[in-house]
Amino acid sequence: MKTSKYLTMVKDGINYHIIDMPGTDIFRLEVLQNVGSNLEKYFKRYYGTPVYGVSHLIEHLSFKSPEGYSSLEIMDLYRKYGRHNASTGNDKINYHMISTMENIDLVTDIVIKTAYNDLTGIDLVEFDKEKDVVINEINRYYENKQTVYNFKIKSRYYGLREVDTTLGSTDMVKNVSLEDVITMKSIMINNAKQDIIIACDMDDVSILDYVNKLHKTVLDAINNTVDNDRTITAKMIETDPERVHVGEYIYPDECGQELTTIIIPIKNMNHTAQALICDYINKKSGEHSLFHNIRTLHGLTYGTSFYVNRYGNDLVVTFQVDVSPGNRDKAIALFNDVILNIIDTYTIDVHNDYIRQIKLDDKLDKLDRMDYVSLIKTIINIPSIKYNLDTRSFNDLSKLYTDIIDASCTYDDMILAIKNVSKAVASDMVIKIRN
């Protein structure tokens, strides 16, 4: 029986991640352009035009009239031959489609034509219609006050304008010109770091032939985009704006709930250990957890969140909770109590049992082979091993994750992760954002 494997390649700065899945007949292609709404503030700085919200508009417009297709034709193919989607974040726009191996050429063509669509084939009528669609979507988000609050947390963290979010501004989307949008997309294509993720069912020779052919197609697509002056470079994009200082920041809104976010900046974070400890503190420590103390014992909220988040180049720990009016102080007091006392409950026996649970959960997840796509995304985002993997079997790939746990999540690593948050909370070296 053929062994499944994972292969990485770097060609002309483009990172290819191939997950070979024999016997599945699956073909999935994803283009991840590692720049998103974080580009918009630089566009305003260097071109003078406020374009907050335009990255999301570009994601939509990329499906409109790409080279060789009308908008109707390409969407018809997406619907008939598989499942597709795209999304925009602060630091990425991704486009992907899943189908079967018989459709490999079609999927490759339409995904690449979409991701690298330079938007020059769009006319003003189509442009204005899609702006209306995006404006409607923004307005729908703005109907949910908690959602808007969550979008604006990152802006508060960096001390940016409130409009500098992935959602952006309806007025700016309405007034942006097609010319500015084309310039913005060109900068994205030419300056963004690219990751291309492929899940397929083919032999080794065919994989290499496909990647070589795909790479030529991608380079041709990049080289065929309209020229830009490269004023906004990848280096500028990666330069973080000044962060706000620790303290409390109030975000005024009309939400009926009291919303609270506590951000804990941690230098030189062990991402894996910190993320697992956050999960442990939030729910998996049982009666000692945030969830148990804030929800189960006191009924203050439906749920709690405590996780590692990425703000630009920063990894931070974030706590979020919403409570009914008048209960904020009690929820924060319970949060502080859990964080300051959790270390006393994390014994070596507790640690060993928790690591056992993590490995069991990972093994169960792998019963669904397509979850390897998610695993690859997890692995490539761990800086210490990024792009340093050779060809590996599926069993080796699963073992790789457990090896990461064993190497990065010793008892001492986990205790340090607890101390990272408890020391910050004890000394009030945190950023509090509330409504």
Residues in the chain: 435
Per-10-residue mean pLDDT of the chain, 435 residues long, equals: 72 88 88 87 83 94 96 96 92 92 97 96 96 94 84 75 83 94 90 86 88 94 72 56 71 82 91 94 96 96 92 83 95 97 96 91 60 58 44 58 84 96 95 89
Q: Is there a contact between 426 and 342 (Cβ–Cβ < 8 Å)?
A: no
- The encoded tokens of residue 236 equal 């500028």
pLDDT of residue 143: 85
pLDDT of residue 121: 95
pLDDT of residue 388: 39
pLDDT, tens only, 151-201: 888 777 776 777 788 888 899 999 999 999 998 999 888 877 889 999 898
Rounded CA-CA distance 309/89 in Å is 13
Phi, psi of 311 (to 5 degrees): -115, 100
pLDDT of residue 390: 45
Rounded CA-CA distance 156/226 in Å is 35
How many Cβ atoms sit within 10 Å of the Cβ of residue 235? 8
pLDDT of residue 28: 92
How many Cβ atoms sit within 10 Å of the Cβ of residue 110? 26
Q: Is there a contact between 129 and 173 (Cβ–Cβ < 8 Å)?
A: no
Q: Label the pairing between strands 258-265 and 304-311.
A: unpaired
| Sheet with 5-11, side-by-side order of all strands | 83-88, 93-100, 26-33, 194-200, 14-20, 5-11, 392-393
pLDDT of residue 376: 60
The model's pTM = 0.83
> What are the CA-CA distances from residue 146 to residues 142, 259, 319, 393 (Å)?
9, 8, 15, 43
What the chain holds in terms of domains, given with CATH numbers, is 5-236 (3.30.830.10), 245-435 (3.30.830.10)
